[in-house]
């Protein structure tokens, strides 16, 4: 039994928010592997067979035309494109194994590939929630506060300007405000929407303005990234295709993420879902490489399983973790950077939310995932962005970041001299070596409460969720908007306003 001490300071000062400094994260450990090389190859070969024999339905005519010109077998009745295995392998080989995106703060440029890890916040929910106002439809004010938090959290590398939907803005122009939030409120790389060519083009245009460059300049030093999903099984819709093609033409980064939910959109086996995921991701990446060889692409994985009793998707499951390990191996086989997610199924910001997220975080980090989307705030299988969960996820991500640091094994750190000073039965609290290291010796939590039971009870018996509520409010109070040229911001505002008018009156493309 271990007695916790009340010690030096009974109550933790809640006004301080402990964070590790911003840093591009790398994983120095060997990736965990669940498949043999033969099994990886076997999954890949089955994917190639799927693409050759069943093919993929491509709803966009231009995409079909490009693939036809490149020698693929296109069936104009069924819209199916069948791919020769050699074509897939050849195109995939053209994609870079690693690439860098520039940020307006050059210290926040991000590299994707190798053993780099990049975390984003949640993106996409229609709802947001916090302990004060409950679960509700997202609006602009909530979104902007959430973006301020994402900027403030050092362990989140990448911004989605609408981490959840601002339902007070028409859907067609929501992306424009999102891009603007990303630029105005943060100095991190911000991501674009690839739902239709015009949303992609708007992202590119705003990036050109931000960096004072044109499309050629942006192509040389890419700054934009966006994600497309397939409609699993084996469909790529027209809007996603058009957005992705716009990015490929301009050399901006595209993540291709099949939604292979085992038992629903994929067979009720993990390997069956991986075969589908691999086929769909590679077919789309092959298309983008055909359009512009060398387009930075990220192999996306979202493989999980349906709960066969309810039909609901289940995330943060053992299958999800096994799928992440296997996806990392597949991506490395293809020499492609890869993405996954910090996903959970839980409806309440409680133990289940944490252990499901930990299943996602551990498995993706330990299998060298390069981009972990939904890193902070995701709840309910992606339906809600929680303010408290964002803080709790930040803690979990930061713990992983800290854990990946090397262990100091210098002679001094080994402490034989300190042991000699203290002697058997002595206490290291007052040792010279301890006093020297005191402040920075160990991980400092963002939200974890390490007080003993009595102090915790005196402090109101707060749960992690309640503590997180205090942390995000404090973080909002201390948020500092990064500096930006006011003229540039005015120009960007002008662009957004003009484009909103154009889009709402039917002019979608620039």
**Strand, helix or coil at 26?**
strand
- Interacting span for a second copy (CB under 8 A) from 89-97, 220-228, 289-297, 420-428: 420-428
59: tokens are: 């709803």
347 binds a second copy (CB under 8 A): yes
Q: Near a second copy by CB under 8 A, which window of 102-110, 153-161, 213-221, 309-317?
A: 309-317
Q: Which of 153, 173, 354, 394 binds a second copy (CB under 8 A)?
A: 354
Interacting span for a second copy (CB under 8 A) from 177-185, 242-250, 398-406, 487-495: 398-406
Q: Which of 26, 213, 352, 488 binds a second copy (CB under 8 A)?
A: 352
- Provide the minimum distance between the beta carbon of 371 and a second copy in the complex, in angstroms, as a whole number: 18
Contacts of 90 (CB under 8 A, 6+ apart): none
162 belongs to the binding site for a second copy (CB under 8 A): no
**Residue 258 sits in the site that holds a second copy (CB under 8 A):** no
Residue 265 lies near a second copy (rule: CB under 8 A): yes
- Residue 265 in tokens: 């959109």
| 392 touching a second copy, by CB under 8 A | yes
Alpha helices by DSSP H, 302-386: 318-334, 351-366
Do 302 and 260 touch, CB atoms closer than 8 A?
A: yes
Nearest approach, Cβ of 112 to a second copy (angstroms)?
A: 23
Structure tokens, 499: 């484009």
> Cβ closer to a second copy: 55 or 300?
55
Q: Does 134 bind a second copy (CB under 8 A)?
A: no
Residues in region 32-71 near a second copy by CB under 8 A: 32-35, 39, 42-43, 46, 49-50, 53-57
What's the closest the beta carbon of residue 429 comes to a second copy, in angstroms?
Answer: 6
Find out whether 349 and 386 touch, Cβ atoms under 8 Å.
yes
Of the candidate residues 380, 387, 492, 495, the single one contacting a second copy (CB under 8 A): 380
**Among residues 21, 106, 212, 425, the one that binds a second copy under rule CB under 8 A:** 425
Asked if 308 touches a second copy (CB under 8 A), the answer is yes
Question: Residue 212, interface with a second copy (CB under 8 A)?
Answer: no
What DSSP element (H or E) covers 128?
strand 127-130
Say if CB 490 and CB 178 are below 8 A apart: no
Residue 424 dihedral angles phi and psi, to the nearest 5°: -55, 135
- Separation of first and last alpha carbons in the chain: 68
C-alpha pair distances (Å), 206 with each of 77, 177, 213, 296, 491: 39, 11, 10, 19, 10
The span from the CA of 456 to the CA of 434, in Å, is 26
User: Rounded to an integer, what distance in angstroms lies between the CA atom of residue 144 and that of residue 178?
Assistant: 9
Nearest CB to a second copy, comparing residues 211 and 362:
362
DSSP label at residue 94: T
Check if the beta carbon of residue 145 is closer than 8 Å to that of residue 476: yes
**Angle at Cα 5 formed by Cα 3 and Cα 11, nearest 5°?**
135
- CB of 99 closer than 8 Å to CB of 113: yes
Provide the mask over 314-343, with x wherever binding to a second copy is found by CB under 8 A and - wherever it is not: x--xxx-xx---x-----------------
Tell me the closest approach of the beta carbon of residue 249 to a second copy, in angstroms: 26
- From candidates 14, 62, 94, 135, binder to a second copy by CB under 8 A: 135
- Closer Cβ to a second copy, 114 or 124, answer by number: 124
Per rule CB under 8 A, is residue 22 in the interface with a second copy?
A: no
Residue with tokens 């053992």: 318
| Binding window for a second copy (CB under 8 A); candidates: 97-105, 138-146, 310-318, 496-504 | 310-318
């Amino acid at each position: 039994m271990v007695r916790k001490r009340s010690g030096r300071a009974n109550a933790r000062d809640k006004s301080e928010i402990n964070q590790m400094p911003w840093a591009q994260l790398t994983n120095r450990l060997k990736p965990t592997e669940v498949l043999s090389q033969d099994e990886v190859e076997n999954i890949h070969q089955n994917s190639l067979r799927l693409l050759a024999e069943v093919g993929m339905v491509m709803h966009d005519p231009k995409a079909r035309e490009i693939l036809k010109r490149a020698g693929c077998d296109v069936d104009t009745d069924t819209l199916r494109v069948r791919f020769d295995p050699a074509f897939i392998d050849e195109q995939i080989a053209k994609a870079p194994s690693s690439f860098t995106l520039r940020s307006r703060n050059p210290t926040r440029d991000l590299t994707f590939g190798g053993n780099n890890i990049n975390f984003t916040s949640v993106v996409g929910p229609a709802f947001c929630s916090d302990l004060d106002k409950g679960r509700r439809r997202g609006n602009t004010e909530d979104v902007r506060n959430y973006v301020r938090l994402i900027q403030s959290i050092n362990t989140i590398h990448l911004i989605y300007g609408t981490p959840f939907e601002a339902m007070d803005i028409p859907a067609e122009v929501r992306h424009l405000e999102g891009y603007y939030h990303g630029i105005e409120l943060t100095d991190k790389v911000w991501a674009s929407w690839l739902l239709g060519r015009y949303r992609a083009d708007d992202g590119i245009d705003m990036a050109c303005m931000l960096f004072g460059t044109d499309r050629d300049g942006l192509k040389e030093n890419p700054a934009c990234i966006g994600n497309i999903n397939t409609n699993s099984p084996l469909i790529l819709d027209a809007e996603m295709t058009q957005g992705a093609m716009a990015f490929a033409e301009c050399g901006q980064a595209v993540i291709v993420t099949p939604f292979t939910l085992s038992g629903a959109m994929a067979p009720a086996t993990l390997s069956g879902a991986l075969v589908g995921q691999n086929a769909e991701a590679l077919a789309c990446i092959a298309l983008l490489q055909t359009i512009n060889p060398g387009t930075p692409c990220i192999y996306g994985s979202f493989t999980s399983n349906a709960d066969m009793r309810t039909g609901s998707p289940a995330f943060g499951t053992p299958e999800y973790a096994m799928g992440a390990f296997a996806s990392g191996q597949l991506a490395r086989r293809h020499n492609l950077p890869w993405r996954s997610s910090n996903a959970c199924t839980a409806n309440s910001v409680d133990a289940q939310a944490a252990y499901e997220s930990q299943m996602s975080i551990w498995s993706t980090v330990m299998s060298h995932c390069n981009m972990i989307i939904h890193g902070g705030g995701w709840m309910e299988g992606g339906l809600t962005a929680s303010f408290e969960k964002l803080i709790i996820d930040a803690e979990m991500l930061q713990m992983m970041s800290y854990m990946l640091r090397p262990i100091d094994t210098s002679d001094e750190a080994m402490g034989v001299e300190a042991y000699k000073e203290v002697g058997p039965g002595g206490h290291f609290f007052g040792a010279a070596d301890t006093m020297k290291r005191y402040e920075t010796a160990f991980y400092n939590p963002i939200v974890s409460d390490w007080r003993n039971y009595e102090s915790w009870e005196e402090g109101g018996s707060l749960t992690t969720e309640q503590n997180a509520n205090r942390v995000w409010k404090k973080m909002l109070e201390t948020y500092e908007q990064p500096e930006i040229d006011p003229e540039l911001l005015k120009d960007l505002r002008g662009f957004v306003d003009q484009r909103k008018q154009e889009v709402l009156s039917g002019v979608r493309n620039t």
